[in-house]
Structure 1
Amino acid sequence: MFINLNQNKNLKLFKIISEVADRNGQSVYTVGGFVRDLLMQRKAPTDIDFVTESSGIELAENIAQEIDPKTKVAIFKTYGTAMFKYKDLELEFVGARKESYSEDSRKPSVEIGTLEDDQKRRDFTINAMAISLNKDNFGELIDPFGGMQDLSNKILRTPLEPHQTYSDDPLRMMRAIRFATTLDFEIDENSLKAIKEEADRMKIVSMERIMVEFNKIMLSGRPSKGLKLLEETGLLNYILPELIALKGIEDIDGQTHKDNFYHTLEVVDNISQNTNKLWLRWSALLHDIGKAPTKKFVEGIGWTFHGHEFVGSKQIKNIFKRLKLPLGAEQKYVEKLVRMHARPIALITDDASDSALRRLLFDSGEDMEDLFTLCKSDITTKNYSKQTRFKKNFEYVAQKIKEVEEKDQVRNFQPPISGEEIMEMFNLKPGKEIGILKEKVKEAILEGDIKNDKDEARSFVIAEAEKLGLTLIK
């Protein structure tokens, strides 16, 4: 079978590669994700892999020289690979190779091989297809493992026996679930069984590499598909046991609670329809993790999860550390949204005070819209009238907050009177009195006792300072 590349936007590049390879007597094929996405008519990737049954480094250097003698080629002798950039593309060239693995590492030992050897070492049949770029058979599809058929059937299979594929490189188990999620494919039955049986091999994979795949699942159109597969195969135990702890329903005296694991998956899917922000999606994933440690059955009341949002927020830093996720602004953002996700719900009443709204606005700051996106995504009731009512109530509170914000300007406000000004007013040195007075000003503004105004704040500070025995310097 031949693939028509004449309309491909990279045709000029492919022709240059073809001419250089033929001139040097080398075979050359484009392989992997580029071929898969081309056949699926998906958006072309920005990186293209090429294989030759001789020196990939030599081929890369010759092609780079042909395109532009100034092109810098990055060479990796250990793996016989070379890379360079061409326009907006990253091109990688490798000599066809065989790989073998040791028990305790996913880094293979490599030896020279044929194109078929190279195709065998790839993770899935849909990624093991190649298209020849040599002049004699330009555009010929080489598909020894039925990848084209698997694309048509939307099935993920491994070229080799799946236990061997996953044991050799356990990261492929994560990739299987990532592709199943992002492409909306099914994992072949034997392959899924092998993942379950090889799950323990995940221990040798670095958490950084696991998170690359996990975050691609989190950024997909329907992350719940991947999260369910991770749980079903046992891989989630090695990533987020805190989520597994939410699984299940208990019944005491006929009173049950919802399965918070599956509720969480619904919330993640809900939020994914409204945002592509990775860390907002993570906030949805972790918003209820405090429910497992706080779950309690109270006679006459039923199941309670008091303080789960505070307990959950305290878990975030350790989770981010363990998963090698960023410990700066990203972690603090997730921590904040998990801690605050129950706050707006408490304000869904007609008599929510302006003071409570001001405090929510002040505490959430620039993340208030994201907080409301999370809260609305947390509505998973199947009762349409309840769902509609809850959403209307959220819109009502959002409107009230907008009105308070316009009137009082308290989002992320800085106190209208600074510590330095207070010291100057009362001839004070730095000390606890400054902090006390600044805190009183903030509280007075949030309570609505004074406006967010410099003159009012100054008069207020003078009155409060007198109570502390401080004298204003005229």
Structure 2
Amino acid sequence: MNFKNYLDQFEVFGKVAAAAQKLNLPTYVVGGYVRDLILGRESKDIDFTCVGSGILLAQEVSKNFEQHVPLSVFKNFGTAMLKLEDWELEFVGARKESYRLESRKPIVEDGTLMEDLERRDFTINSMAISLNAQDYGDLVDPLGGKEDIKKKNIRTPLDPVITFSDDPLRMMRAVRFAAQLNFDIDPETFQAIVDAAHRLEIISAERVIDELNKIIKTPKPSYGFKLLFASGLLSRFFPEMVELQGVDSVDDKSHKDNFYHTLQVLDNVCQVSDDLWLRWAAILHDIAKPATKRFNPKVGWTFHGHEDKGARMTPAIFRRLKLPMDERMKYVQKLVRLHLRPIALVKDEVTDSALRRLLFDAGDDIDDLMKLCRADITSKNNKKVKRYLDNFDKVEVKLKEVEEKDQVRNFQPPVSGEEIMQIFGIPPSKVIGEIKEEIKEAILEGKIGNHPEEARKLMYEIAREKGLYPKIQ
């Protein structure tokens, strides 16, 4: 297979080839760009490997463009990077590397092209395209990557025990590529993952979560999670999710398998949103069910309070997994805490008061909360699912009506603490918070409108009951 006609469409390949020829460095396009080219996937990140110094090659390539091309050199890693418009070009010398059993840092040495391809993670990433004059555009595929793409097969170029021993993160990457490409993992490769799953513990949490988030961003992440679970990798860094798996039965009463239910909810969310943090809310929405599971002979299995406990668990999980401890965590925590509220409204007669409170508590995240709640309906009874979803439609119509009328989403009490202190001539104290809380409750209950005039009138009534009177001007 030859890609000369393709390479000729882009000047960047000609510029690199010219620089390589000038320096007498055999040079190749390698890795993911070659894989994506064969798969028909667009990519703007191109890796170049030369038999020699990748830094020297990058420096020479940068001279071949009339415009200034930003060059970044990483001497410690023997790599260099050029940014050309929307292209990102990385240059490295062919190398071989190995890892000590107790270390995350590789021992890197110069190598041949074959050694460079063999050290890569999977055969689908172990192909190259020659930029050399004698065979320009030829596919170099000594390890069968093209055939594995055809078979939709994830396989290591060497014995998988060696490949995963060199860098245990490659076990996560195997699952990630399988999930992204909808490929299978070769049986021998998968067994090696099972056997070496414990080695993931030497990999930093930051690298693990980066791969996990890429799995979560796939169109159907349940496939990746099932592979993580079956291989034993998931238990190494996310035991709370593993604990969701399983079904208990007492007196012929069973609960659903909350692990597979969670995966279904996650897939459902992915059909309506690309938002990573909404997907994380789906993952964590039932995370506290194992901790709150109880059996009641009259009603069967219960999980009372799992939404509140799940919200309390969220910060610790985010911190351990090295997820961001900022507004994104608080967003996930809020959705976990509130995910049962709309379902309760579906079951009961919907009151304006309940709708106001939901709007107030959810704020601008109400739409995402409703997406999560719709995704949470996973019954095998299609009529039941349709009935719930139809009721959600009614709830959403009512939410819009209440919001337009009362404007309670993210509202602040119309009377501020400063105003109360000024009117009644009192210092900061507990009573100010009590007055504001009573006004807020009155608005949410619909006793008064969300308007300054009505709020101030009520403020004077509450203050009078507490023995407060306006100061004399």
User: Do the aligned residues in 1 keep the contact of 2:51 with 2:94 (CA within 8 Å)?
Assistant: yes
CA distance in 1, matches of 2:134, 2:290: 64
Amino acid at match of 2:158: L
Letter in 1 for 2:26: S
SS in 2 for 1:338: helix
Which of 65, 82, 85 aligns to 2:83? It is 85
| C-alpha separation in 2, matches of 1:71 and 1:152 | 37
* Pick aligned residue for 1:183 from 181, 184, 187: 181
The CA RMSD measured in Å over matched residues stands at 1.2
Partner of 1:375: 373
1:75 Cα offset (Å): 1.6
What SS class does the counterpart of residue 90 from structure 2 fall into?
A: strand
Aligned length, in residue pairs: 472
2:41 aligned with 1:3: no
Aligned to 1:135: 133
| Contact 2:180–2:215, Cα closer than 8 Å, also in 1 | yes
Provide, for residues 275-324 of structure 1, a one-character-per-residue CA deviation record: whole Å limited to 9, x for no partner: 00000000000100110000000111111100110111110000001001
CA displacement at 1:73 relative to structure 2: 2.1
What's the CA shift for 1:8? 6.3
Q: Which amino acid aligns with 2:58?
A: A
**Which deviations, in whole Å up to 9, do the C-alpha atoms of 1:43-70 show, x marking residues without a partner?**
22x2110001011111110010111474
Matches within 5 A, 1:125-274: 125-274=123-272
Query: Tell me, what secondary structure is at the counterpart of 2:88?
Result: strand
Q: Give the drift of 1:170.
A: 0.4
How far residue 140 of structure 1 moved from its aligned partner, in angstroms, is 0.5
- The separation in 2 between residues aligned to 1:95 and 1:168, in whole angstroms, is 19
Q: TM-score, normalised by structure 2?
A: 0.98
Q: Secondary structure at the match of 1:413?
A: coil
Moved more, 404-413 or 62-71: 62-71
Letter in 1 for 2:439: V
Q: Distance in 1 between matches of 2:366 and 2:72?
A: 45
Q: Aligned-pair distance for 1:181? A: 0.2
Which consecutive residues of structure 2, in runs of 5 or more, have no partner in the other structure? none
Residue 42 (structure 2) aligns with: 43
Q: Distance in 1 between matches of 2:177 and 2:328?
A: 26
Q: Is the 8 A contact 1:99 1:111 kept in 2?
A: yes
Q: Percent identity, aligned pairs only?
A: 53
Structure 1 pair 85–231 and aligned structure 2 pair: CA distance change class (3 A): same
1:345-385 CA deviation, whole Å, 9 max, x = no partner? 11114622111110001000000000000000001112211
Tell me the secondary structure at the aligned position of residue 75 of structure 1: strand
Deviation, 1:190, is: 0.1
- Residue 415 of structure 1 aligns to a residue whose secondary structure is coil
Quote the Cα distance in structure 1 between the aligned partners of 2:331 and 2:350. 26
Alpha-carbon separation, structure 2, partners of 1:267 and 1:459:
47
Q: Measure the CA separation in 1 of the matches of 2:129 and 2:114.
A: 13
Residues 160-169 or 69-78, more deviating: 69-78
Give the superposition deviation at 1:173. Answer: 0.3
Match of 1:283 in 2: 281
Task: Using the TM superposition, give the Cα deviation of residue 449 of structure 1 relative to its aligned residue in structure 2, in angstroms.
Answer: 0.7
Residue 459 of structure 1, CA deviation: 0.5
Corresponding residue for 1:16? 15
Question: Which amino acid in 2 is paired with 1:102?
Answer: R
SS in 1 for 2:47: strand
C-alpha distance in 1 between matches for 2:90 and 2:262: 40
| Stretch moving more, 31-40 or 46-55 | 46-55
The 8 Å contact of residues 19 and 135 in structure 1, kept in 2 or not, is answered as no
1:408 equivalent in structure 2? 406
Matching residue of 2:316: 318
Shift of 1:117: 0.6
Alignment of 1:65-104 (within 5 A): 65-68=63-66, 70-104=68-102
SS in 1 for 2:256: coil
